[in-house]
Amino acid sequence: MEKETVVWAKDAFENIIKKMSFVYERSKDKIPYTTINGVHDDHSVNDIGWWTNGFWGGIMWQLYIATGEECYKKTAIENEKKLDKLFLNYKLLDHDNGFKWLPTAVANYRITGDEESKNRGILAADNLAGRFNVNGEFIRAWNDWDGDNIDRRGWAIIDCMMNLPLLYWASETTNDPRYRHVAIKHANKAQKHFVRENGSVKHIVEFDVETGKEIRDYGGQGYRDGSSWTRGQSWGIYGFALSYDHTKDIEYLKTAEKIADNFIQNIPESGLIPVDFDQPKEVTWEDSTAAAIAACGMLKISEFKECSDKDKYFNTALKLLKTLTDCRVNLNEKEDDLLLKCTAAYNDKIHDFSIIYGDYFYIEAICKLNGKYINIW
């Protein structure tokens, strides 16, 4: 990195460490998703199955590695143990097992070698692998939802690319190739059916549950069917880069670069990322989480010697992170939110709030630039 880059990234790192020390004291007993009037909510009691509930633990592990402070380790482990309730309710286990247990149990095992954490990670991987449709060669996304009659048995989503590292880890840890086989089959299916010719991605694809034939795709959390939901692009960039990292299949790296190139071509002059690259010009809604995740993915791509243009992806990641740092990071120590202007879904009624995975991926990227982080994925 150039000297100027080192300075701003170092300052951003130090600002994170300082702010999060205050946030920690207020939120150490919680599992947050967002903030209400600047105060973290808590999903650990009434919504323990929520898909984002591993990211607070992930933040704690990143802060532990960055600072060596035992308090962060303690809270990360508490977050991990709170998720044990999910193993007793199959409705709370889905394609997002990686998001829940990679930043918690698997991170713990990698750092401490704890056998109970290893067991949790393998149990989560077993459940995720069990969602694999053998004929269709895809991992089913959501379970049935109470209160509607929508058939989601054949639904798969681009987000699941980020959960595949749980299966790669399980294969490496148990020396059992079955987990890896499932991950590769799903990645191949996603590569063929989710990534459009121009490098944009679909959010949801529905497959025939008996044959695996593609039936149709849905706009999902994006603007509309056929549009380019930016967080989906980000999941694709990082997810395929991670599949390459674990398998060394060059086609995954090429796919990650293809999606990243499309993302780069659509970055607005401001550097602030919209919820959907195809949203109407008069709509100003942003998703800072998409910027942070894409930056993490591009940093990952730039690590590989086989990368077609390391500087392009690395420098784009820096620009995304620098823009967030300058324009969308809240350093007010009395408020819990860090990354501002996040959006869960385009068609939600609420936009412009903080989301815990936005904070996580921003922290991961800044810690990585400073060489003080754990590779969770």
pLDDT for 37-63, tens place per residue?
999 999 998 899 999 999 999 999 999
Q: Is residue 142 part of a domain?
A: yes
Report d(CA 245, CA 193) in Å as an integer. Answer: 21
Q: Is 284 within a domain? A: yes
Residues annotated as catalytic are 96, 159
Domain for residue 374, yes or no? no
What does 92-120 look like in DSSP terms, one character per residue? G-STTHHHHHIIIIIHHHHHH--HHHHHH
Report if residue 377 sits inside a domain.
no
Domain that holds residue 108: 3-369
pLDDT of residue 2: 55
pLDDT of residue 5: 64
Q: What pLDDT does residue 147 have?
A: 77
In a domain, residue 60? The reply is: yes
**Strands 132-133, 138-139: parallel, antiparallel or unpaired by DSSP?**
antiparallel
**Using one digit for the tens of pLDDT, what is the confidence trace for 156-184?**
999 999 999 999 999 999 999 999 999 99
Structure token digits, residue 237:
């960039």
In a domain, 181, yes or no: yes
Task: Report which of 350, 356, 337 is spatially closest to residue 32, judged by C-alpha positions.
Answer: 356
Structurally, the chain folds into a number of domains equal to 1
Collect the ranges in the chain with pLDDT lower than 50.
Answer: none
Residue 375 lies in a domain: no
Residue 333 belongs to a domain with what CATH number?
Answer: 1.50.10.10
pLDDT at 148: 84
What is the C-alpha radius of gyration for the chain, rounded to an integer number of angstroms? 19
